[in-house]
Amino acid sequence: MLHSKKIKKMFSDRRYNRKFSNYRAGNYAVPTIILINVIVFILQQITTTKGSYGFSYSSVTYSFALIPEVVVKNYEIWRLFTYMFLHGGFWHIALNMWGVYLFGSMLEQYMGSKKFIMLYLVSGVFAGIFWMLFNLGAMSVCIGASGALFGVLIGAAMLFPNSMIMLLIPPIPLKLRTFAIIYALIETFSAISGFDGQVAHLAHIGGLIAGYIIMRIMYPKEVFDIFKFIKFPSIKGVQKNTSVKAPKGWKMTSASATSVDEILDKISKNGVNSLTEEEVTVLKQAREKMRSSR
């Protein structure tokens, strides 16, 4: 059997199983994004006036919010970018910026500031486009960083799927990948059922889709495929089967990333002694492969 210390070392070497450390100096994207959102929110409050029938009106919000009819008729494409820096109230911006700090900090530390900004902005823009496609011809308004935040959330869940987070209500611990999947299902159900509640669920779904695709493209080998039940066609086409048959009486095992992950998960649940001889062989092959690649 493999030594338990070696198994723990292999378990920690899995890229997406590594824990993130505290936010470190030099990363500027997350604090800059939060600062810009806060400044814009203050401008929204300063420019807000009360109109007739008790309705409030902000010239900043009206000028930069995502309004499908205005975007299409007046070609004001910039609204797909500016809407994500506007918010409808204190709790709206507070919860969004808390999410940006919580999930964005760990993601920026891994990706770097420039790539993180790209992920954030592209997720936000795609979220706006996705929402707008289902609201063409309507005077609906979309504001908020939620679309971009959902792109960040899915990115963090794909890089750190086993990191634990504590829910506020109810106060229970969840793996980050579980949290992301639950939220994705809630948003999908809400969008399909037509439940609104003044929440742009379609924008959230758009952000999730964008974040997922970006992470798959940028880090195809590092990320945990959180939606691995979705099958994507190979860009390079179907590869030929080059497998070699084992000699009679021999058994061949493949130390693929998927099988190793499954075995390591089995160890974490049931212990080392639960492994079969074939699983031990797979781990040994994986260990040798890791040594030779360093």
In a domain? residue 17: no
In a domain? residue 230: no
pLDDT given for residue 209 in this prediction: 96
Q: What's the rounded Cα separation, in Å, for the pair 134 and 111?
A: 32
Q: What is the pLDDT of residues 200-259, one digit of tens each?
A: 889 999 999 999 999 999 999 888 887 775 554 544 444 444 444 444 444 444 445 556
* Confidence category of residue 166, pLDDT binned at 50, 70, 90: confident
Which range marks the domain in which residue 160 is found?
Answer: 23-218
pLDDT given for residue 68 in this prediction: 93
Where is 5: in which H helix or E strand?
helix 4-13
Q: Which distant-in-sequence residues (6+ apart) come within 8 Å of 84 by Cβ?
A: 121, 124, 125, 127, 128, 143, 144, 145, 147, 148
The DSSP bridge partners found for residue 142 are 66
In a domain? residue 241: no
In a domain? residue 250: no
Q: Which distant-in-sequence residues (6+ apart) come within 8 Å of 164 by Cβ?
A: 173, 174, 175, 176
pLDDT given for residue 127 in this prediction: 97
Q: Mean pLDDT in the chain?
A: 79
Q: Residue 155 is encoded by which pair of tokens?
A: 């990115």
In a domain? residue 240: no
For the chain, the 3-state helix, strand and coil shares in percent, each to the nearest 5, are 60, 5, 35
Number of domains in the chain: 1
Mean pLDDT of 169-183: 86
In a domain? residue 284: no
Q: What is the DSSP letter of 150?
A: H
The DSSP bridge partners found for residue 173 are 166
Identify the residue with better confidence: 269 or 206. 206
pLDDT given for residue 183 in this prediction: 85
Cα first-last separation, the chain: 24
pLDDT given for residue 261 in this prediction: 67
Identify the residue with better confidence: 178 or 250. 178
In a domain? residue 213: yes
Residue 274 has pLDDT above 80, yes or no: no
Q: What's the rounded Cα separation, in Å, for the pair 276 and 274?
A: 7
Residue 100 has pLDDT above 90, yes or no: yes
Residue 81 has pLDDT above 80, yes or no: yes
Mean pLDDT of 83-100: 95
* Confidence category of residue 49, pLDDT binned at 50, 70, 90: confident
We report the CATH number of the domain holding residue 105 as 1.20.1540.10
Q: What is the pLDDT of residues 119-165, one digit of tens each?
A: 999 999 999 999 999 988 777 899 999 999 999 999 999 999 999 98
pLDDT given for residue 286 in this prediction: 67
Where is 258: in which H helix or E strand?
helix 257-270
In a domain? residue 31: yes
Q: What's the rounded Cα separation, in Å, for the pair 103 and 98?
A: 9
* Confidence category of residue 270, pLDDT binned at 50, 70, 90: low
Identify the residue with better confidence: 1 or 180. 180
Residue 4 has pLDDT above 60, yes or no: no
